[in-house]
């Protein structure tokens, strides 16, 4: 079921989301200051390519001074727009019964997009 869910996800737009995250990560990695943010976009790209069967866990790094600072910068620079986008897509998909599994994946990605520093994908 996980393989079927990932295949349907990729065919219905998951590839485009992953591509946009990867392009954004590449652009941010062109600058030295943007490398940590680009790495987080690559993490989001990987999750958005194969979201079924993966979970997002928070590590202790998010509670440290550097983790909190990076997450606040992330939210201020563009993280809130990513979260809103994923939540709107989840709301649209949750209207239908067929779209409920995909809506859950968007909520999972919204959680990672809100505070990516200190989160890992298992």
pTM: 0.89
DSSP 64: S
Range of the domain at 38: 2-121
Check if the beta carbon of residue 103 is closer than 8 Å to that of residue 29: no
- Smallest Cα–Cα separation from 71: which of 37, 24, 95? 37
Structural element, H or E, at residue 82: helix 80-94
Q: Give per-residue pLDDT as tens, 3-38.
A: 999 999 999 889 999 999 999 999 999 999 999 999
Q: What's residue 108's pLDDT? A: 94
| Cβ-based burial of 37 (10 A; exposed 0-12, middle 13-18, buried ≥19) | buried
Q: Considering the chain, what is the average pLDDT of its residues?
A: 91
Q: Give per-residue pLDDT as tens, 79-94.
A: 999 999 999 999 999 9
How many domains is the chain built from? 1
């Amino acid at each position: 079921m996980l393989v079927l869910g990932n295949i349907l996800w990729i065919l219905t737009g998951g590839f485009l989301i992953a591509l946009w995250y990867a392009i954004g990560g590449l652009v941010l990695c062109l600058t030295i200051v943007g490398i940590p943010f680009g790495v987080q976009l690559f993490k989001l790209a990987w999750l958005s390519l194969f979201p079924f069967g993966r979970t997002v866990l928070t590590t202790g790094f998010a509670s440290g001074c550097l983790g909190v600072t990076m997450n606040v910068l992330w939210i201020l620079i563009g993280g809130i727009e990513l979260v809103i986008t994923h939540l709107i897509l989840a709301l649209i998909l949750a209207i239908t019964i067929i779209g409920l599994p995909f809506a859950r994946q968007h909520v999972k990605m919204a959680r990672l997009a809100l505070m990516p520093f200190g989160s890992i994908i298992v």
